[in-house]
Structure 1
């Protein structure tokens, strides 16, 4: 169950990162509200997951989900540049997340 909660926390991290981008420097109220709600929910779920998980594992997986998810949505929603190096870097983060799960 803590892994599911951690996964949901990571998804909310993606939500707040995309909302922050959409806020145009915190100047648009609805994206800012979504960003703040996503942040609160993400931190809350992370804290719940950390009750049963080691700090390092939980934090690394949480940031990894947020980083890779934000990277993918940046490619899809904002037409950010794709390069082999960026794809390899994202793949290494995913490999790290999978390795942490297998090691737990």
Structure 2
């Protein structure tokens, strides 16, 4: 169950990051509310996962999934470039988290 909580937490982490773009500096009410709710939910589910998982595993995986998801959605939804250096960096994140596991 801890891994499911961690995946849900990571989903909210991506939602939080993407929501910040759409909130435009907290000038748009609904996206701003989404940012706050996603941040609280993400941290709450992360905390639930840490009842079982060590912090040295749960937190890096949470941030890595959040980073990877944000890079992917930035590309798909916002038209951000996937440069070779960005792709190498994403690969290094994956290797780094796999090394922790």
TM-score, normalised relative to structure 2: 0.93
Q: How many Å separate the matches in 2 of 1:13 and 1:36? A: 11
In the alignment, which residue of structure 1 is the partner of 2:56?
56
In the alignment, which residue of structure 2 is the partner of 1:70?
70
* Structure 2 residues not aligned, in runs of 5+: none
Q: How many Å separate the matches in 1 of 2:88 and 2:45? A: 29
Report 1:82-93 matches (<5 A): 82-93=82-93
Q: How many Å separate the matches in 2 of 1:12 and 1:99? A: 24
In the alignment, which residue of structure 2 is the partner of 1:17?
17
TM-score, normalised relative to structure 1: 0.90
Q: Which runs of 4+ in 1 moved over 6 A?
A: none
> Does 2:11 match 1:28?
no
Q: How many Å separate the matches in 2 of 1:2 and 1:99? A: 20
Q: How many Å separate the matches in 1 of 2:58 and 2:85? A: 26
Q: How many residues align?
A: 101
* SS across alignment from 1:82: coil
* Structure 1 residues not aligned, in runs of 5+: none
State the Cα distance separating 1:10 from its structure 2 match. 0.5
Once the two structures are superposed, residues 33-92 of structure 1 have per-residue CA deviations (whole angstroms, 9 ceiling, x without a partner) of 111110111000000001101111111000001011001111111111221110111122
